[in-house]
A and B are shown apart, each in its own frame.
Chain A
Amino acid sequence: MTSRRNVIRVVLPQHLQTLARVGSEVALEVTGPATLGSLLDALEERYPVLRGTVRDHTTQKRRAFVRFFACEEDMSHESSDTPLPAAVISGAEPFLIVGALAGG
């Protein structure tokens, strides 16, 4: 964990790209401890339209069909204060927000 200012790469699923009107990857500045929760806070702060799409407005729980991957690991079930991997913090690897594969 680090408390300096980090620029973290986040890959968004197609639906959220169109909603936020961005490309597949966005760069987010995270100040303070770089955790799963602070990254999602930064994402929603930068793109308010994404509030409620990745995690519930009120409970802050991850939506059921959304997954978090980083450095080939599944972080979907980690708590919000879990530190992000060093390679994500350094910008070497992106943090992936993925819509669970399902029909439709």
Chain B
Amino acid sequence: MSGVRVLVGTKKGAFVLTSDGKRAKWDINGPHFGGWEMYHVKGSPADPNRLYASQSTGWFGQQMQRSSDGGKTWEAVGNKFEYDGVTGTHQWYDGTPHPWEFKRVWHLEPSLTDPDVVYAGVEDAALFRTEDGGSTWQELPGLRNHGSGPTWAPGAGGLCLHTILIDPTNHDRIYIAISSAGAFRSDDGAKSWRPINQGLRSQYIPDPAAEVGHCVHRIAMHASRPNVLFMQKHWDVMRSDDAGESWREVSGNLPTDFGFVIDVNTHEPETIYVVPIKSDSEHYPPDGKLRVYRSRTGGDEWEPLTKGLPQTDCYVNVLRDAMSVDSLEPCGVYFGTSGGQVYASADAGDSWVPIVRDLPPVLSVEVQTLPRRGD
């Protein structure tokens, strides 16, 4: 029987949650790396037992961990992330130049075909890659040096490269997103890049329609339609039907179009999920009601999903890497909160249950669908 493994990164360690295909009973394993911030844990599509985990603290810096047995055991691998060449400056919050400094790895994106190849999105924003299972990491400097780098400015969480999407039909086409620079695309395997932000509007930059400077929070893609992208921006939910060449707003009837996560149903490429969050400073759900919103029309028309989710006095946040979907039927949807809950829906969002309630604040949630439980 098939199974599901949920990889949860929190502010104080990582957890591995497993279940069979019914997704009703869960085993909780962890904390791994207790006390460390685990920004992201993700498995290789080419070898589901190969996992990578980004581990850091402000005190002792970045570590990278690798597992070859699905998270049962781990080994530390290379943690040297050195920018290529002279780094120069980006903009600080007040617009003044600020030196580029490596702080941490936000997001890991393993290759679709080679378990030893992984992309890493880091703060201050840059893209790195390993080709030896994490032992060494090399910057892909074409992104940072494509021209607009000196104008990039950090979002509230830092100048972070947080989203990496590889086109499953053309592995040379890669999308990334940076807060607060925007979305970028490479068509030559990450050698060269260009911004793809036409149609985005952001009132918090001098030119609301500028080519770069947008605080993109997340981009999602369905594997069967890699030219269709969905974006949760700082404000606005956006959609592109031409691989990011142009975007249009699809926020529709959402109670607020601010949020962090966005994801696509595995079996229905026009069914997408967001969690609206009140902003600019509150960063908790409107009216104290935790609601996932689902659109079955690729945006514009949204329905609240509330069954099993707290509808009173709920003031948690759901961060950008903290939603994922499985590939079972019906599609399972998972998200984690700043309150330490990981919620799961085994019916495409119709109803929800907490897998676990009292973890440290959740930073990331990734899901692996396995041939058998625990494999």
A positions within 8 Å CB-CB of B = 13-16, 18-19, 49, 51-54, 57-58, 63, 65-66, 99-100, 102, 104
Contacts and interface: CB of A to CB of B under 8 A. Distances in A.
B61 interface: yes
Interface stretch (B30-38, B146-154, B343-351): B30-38
* B-side interface size class: 10 to 19
Contacts of A52: 61-62, 79-80
Q: Chain A contact residues: over half helix, strand or loop, or mixed?
A: loop
Interface stretch (B52-60, B125-133, B189-197, B277-285): B52-60
7 contacts: A14-B35, A15-B59, A52-B61, A53-B63, A63-B60, A65-B58, A100-B59
A102 B60 CA distance: 13
A99 B36 CA distance: 13
A57 B64 CA distance: 15
A10 B80 CA distance: 24
A61 B111 CA distance: 34
B114 interface: no
Contacts of B61: 52-53, 63
Contacts of B57: 15
B188 interface: no
A18 B35 contact: yes
A89 to B, nearest CB: 26
A73 B63 CA distance: 30
Contact of A104 (B33, B58, B60, B82): B58
A57 B83 CA distance: 12
B46 interface: no
A11 B80 CA distance: 24
A58 B34 CA distance: 27
A53 B60 contact: yes
A19 B34 CA distance: 10
Given A15-B59, A63-B60, A102-B58, 16 more contacts: A13-B60, A15-B36, A16-B60, A18-B34, A18-B35, A19-B76, A49-B63, A53-B63, A57-B80, A58-B82, A63-B59, A63-B61, A65-B59, A66-B59, A102-B59, A104-B58
B134 to A, nearest CB: 13
